[in-house]
Amino acid sequence: MQWPTSPEVKNNIGAVGTPEGPLQKGEPWTLSYNLRVGKEETANQSSGQTINTFVGDGSIVGGGTEKGAYRIIVDFKGGELDKRVPTEPVTASVTALQEGEVLEYFVEYNSPLKAWRLSMLVKPHRNESLVLRAFLTAGGKALTETWTYRLPPVNDILVSSE
């Protein structure tokens, strides 16, 4: 389960379970678990992967000019992306859920990282979480995994007040 927290770095993931037998007061109890995300073959894909995500205020100089908007930058690297020439066209598919709005986005090659950078100016709907999905494409073919991000409405990122 996931709960919104402010700031996002606070623990907001919880799990529940039932022990195999009754717990005894004063006795140690050991818990172990395995965490698996996706199918095993997914990890061995040859698609590009997310290596960085940056989030900033989209209403200040350098971020944009839209009050209440966020500038989100995602770097992708690996797979077919590493075989592309930096001047080859790469675009993105960007989707905002929960009535969020994608104001602009563009993709460019980031030479120092030898990676491709997706820059988005996005705005959540009123006091809703901002939920985004994006992946890089070329010639109608997906080049990367799908990056998914949820930004809770209560956070300390926006510098300006609405």
Structural domains of the chain sorted by starting position, each given as residue range(s) with its CATH number in brackets = 46-151 (2.60.40.10)
pLDDT at position 116 over 50: yes
d(CA 120, CA 55): 10
Least confident residue range of 2-6, 110-114, 152-156: 2-6
pLDDT of residue 145: 93
Q: How confident is the model at residue 162 (pLDDT cuts 50, 70, 90)?
A: very low
Contact predicate 50/72, CB 8 Å: no
Q: What would the pLDDT profile of 37-85 be if each residue is shown by its tens digit?
A: 666 555 566 799 999 999 999 887 666 778 899 999 999 999 999 999 9
> Using 50, 70 and 90 to split pLDDT, how confident is the model at 137?
very high
Q: How confident is the model at residue 131 (pLDDT cuts 50, 70, 90)?
A: very high
Rounded to two decimals, what is the model's pTM? Answer: 0.73
Which residue is listed with tokens 């675009």?
A: 91
Task: Give the separation between CA 65 and CA 46, rounded to whole angstroms.
Answer: 37
Calculate the average pLDDT of the chain: 86
